[in-house]
Amino acid sequence: MFISFEGIDGSGKSTQLGMLRAWLEERGRTVLTVREPGATHLSESIREILLSNKQTITPTAELLLFSAARTHLVETVIRPALERGDVVLCDRYVDSTTAYQGHGRQLDLEQVALCNRLATQGVLPSLTFFIDVPYDEAQLRMQFHPTGTEPDRMERSGRDFFERVRAGYLSIAASEPQRFVVIPGVQDRTAIHEQICAQIVPMLRG
């Protein structure tokens, strides 16, 4: 079972991923959680480059760096875990690229889709939760972020960018309603968690 979490920065993805992990483990599942980009030495190094404020990165270079990190993660971590029968929970995956580099950076969507196919090698989540939170609410939540760090290069992209990203996510939801589940994010975290679990219960029976 492969599940991913999506949403703009500060929407509550990692919070929900952690809650779902605990819930699945209580039910006897072996769960692997990974963050994107990251989870391998190479992908964490690429993450550092991508999020660093020390340099500018052109949109196409950004697309290719995210994709390089992803394909390495798929080949070395995600696919082997799925073959073992583990549950894989991914904090961001391919939809982030469609939303951020496609809609946010306004790259050609067909080229982004081509790149995504290459990067994922057909390893796709059966369910994706999009925690939908307006920009202002996400900004507010990030002020109380546990790490309390300065905004990274992506987080500095500004309101217009994040509004395009959010619209991008909503267009994915319209085109793939079975897989891509929109969860209204301005709710208590327990209420969100319950809505997520309700979607997973039928999958556990199978």
Q: Is 120 in the site for ligand ATP (CB under 6 A)?
A: no
d(CA 126, CA 179): 6
Order of strands, edge to edge, in the sheet holding 87-91? 31-35, 87-91, 2-6, 127-132, 180-184
Q: Rounded CA gap, 204 and 6, in Å?
A: 22
Question: Rounded CA gap, 64 and 112, in Å?
Answer: 9
Asked if residue 13 binds ligand ATP (CB under 6 A), the reply is yes
Number of residues that bind ligand ATP (CB under 6 A): 16
Does position 104 interact with ligand ATP (CB under 6 A)? The reply is no
Q: Name the minimum Å distance from CB 161 to Mg ion.
A: 18
Instruction: Between 11 and 101, name the residue whose CB sits nearer to Mg ion.
Output: 11
- Residue at shortest CB range from Mg ion: 14
Nearer to ligand ATP, 115 or 131 (CB): 131
The residue range among 36-44, 96-104, 143-151, 173-181 that interacts with ligand ATP, by the rule CB under 6 A, is 143-151
State the nearest-atom distance from the C-beta of 11 to ligand ATP, in Å. Answer: 4
Interacting residues with ligand ATP between 57 and 96 (CB under 6 A): none
CB of 111 to ligand ATP, least distance (A): 25
Per CB under 5 A, contacts with Mg ion among 1-30 are 14
Whether the CB-CB separation of 132 and 11 falls below 8 Å is answered with: yes
Binding mask 186-205 for ligand ATP (x = CB under 6 A): -xxx--x-------------
Find the binder of ligand ATP among 2, 4, 11, 112 (CB under 6 A). 11
Binding segment for ligand ATP (CB under 6 A), chosen from 49-57, 63-71, 164-172, 185-193, is 185-193
Q: What does the binding site for ligand ATP look like in residue numbers (CB under 6 A)?
A: 7, 9-15, 141, 144-146, 187-189, 192
Q: What does the binding site for Mg ion look like in residue numbers (CB under 5 A)?
A: 14
